[in-house]
Amino acid sequence: MSLPYPRGLRTVRADVSQYSRRAVAALILSPDPLGGALLGAAVELAGFRLDFAQNGESAGDAVRRVKPRLVMLDCRDERLGDERLLGPAMMMGAWVYLFGTRDGLRNLEVVASRHGAEMLVLPDHSDLLPELLRRAHKHRREHFAK
């Protein structure tokens, strides 16, 4: 599968035939379903089999159910505060990544180093979204007015 870029730029390619139920499991735990799904798309493109916690399922139960090799924890998840969430994943030998904005992760540096978790800083451009949408809407109106 190829995803086209704007004219003249390279194309993103992913071999989706490698995806299978036997692929290495990844678990994303995030209070933000859309953000978790977007990150999950990148995780799947990397060849992992993706899963999320089910409604009402605790993070520890999700880890025990999925038995993931990769666990990605959103730094906005309040369950990270007590550190009990990291234990089951680390005992299974999973790679644990805490993800979020630089400000959000700053408070978790001690927790991450104590448990050997990695930190993945994601961009936070949510404040730019309204302006980007206004520009896109204006461009669309101008394009169709011609």
Q: Specify the DSSP element, H or E, that contains 124.
A: none
Q: How far is Cα 108 from Cα 117, in angstroms, rounded to an integer?
A: 10
* Structural domain containing residue 18: 2-145
| Structural domain total, the chain | 1
Bridge partner list, 100: 121
The per-residue pLDDT for 5 is: 47
**CATH number of domain containing 95:** 3.40.50.2300
What is residue 31's DSSP assignment? Answer: S
Tell me the DSSP string of 36-95. HHHHHHHHHHTTPEEEEPPTT--HHHHHHHH--SEEEEETT-GGGGGSTTHHHHHHTT-E
- Over residues 71-82, the pLDDT tens digits come to 999 988 776 655
CA-based Rg of the chain, rounded to a whole angstrom? 18
* pTM check: above 0.75: no
Element (H, E) at 109: helix 109-115
* 114 vs 14: which has the higher pLDDT: 114
Q: Does an H or E element contain 139, and which?
A: helix 129-145
> Per-residue pLDDT tens for 91-110?
888 888 889 888 888 888 88
